[in-house]
Amino acid sequence: MFLSFYIALGFFLLLASREPSSYRPLIVFAAWQSIAHASVMVIETVEAWSNGTHRDFTDVVIAAVIGIVLLVSMPSSKKETASPVNA
């Protein structure tokens, strides 16, 4: 079920990559959603380890890296305006 969410989000992120400054809210949502997912999964993985179930942290690291990369590569929120030319 969660995979279908990531597939749909990935499709729209690919569309947003053509003009990232126009789709900044979508990119911000995707970044923070990935970081939030990684945070929850860290807690669940640590809890699973404490109960004797051994899970690896691969999905946690991947989600965190995706969120951080999206935040770092996001265009700035400032829109540059051209200064008027005095003739």
Q: pLDDT tens across 2-55, in order?
A: 778 888 988 999 999 899 888 999 999 999 999 999 999 999 999 999 998 888
Residue from 18, 25, 30 nearest 67 by CA: 30
**Is residue 82 very low, low, confident or very high in pLDDT (cuts 50, 70, 90)?**
low
pLDDT at 59: 85
**Rounded-to-integer distance, Cα 42 and Cα 58, Å:** 10
**Is residue 56 very low, low, confident or very high in pLDDT (cuts 50, 70, 90)?**
confident
**Is residue 76 very low, low, confident or very high in pLDDT (cuts 50, 70, 90)?**
confident
Comparing 78 with 41, which gets the higher pLDDT? Answer: 41
pLDDT at 53: 86
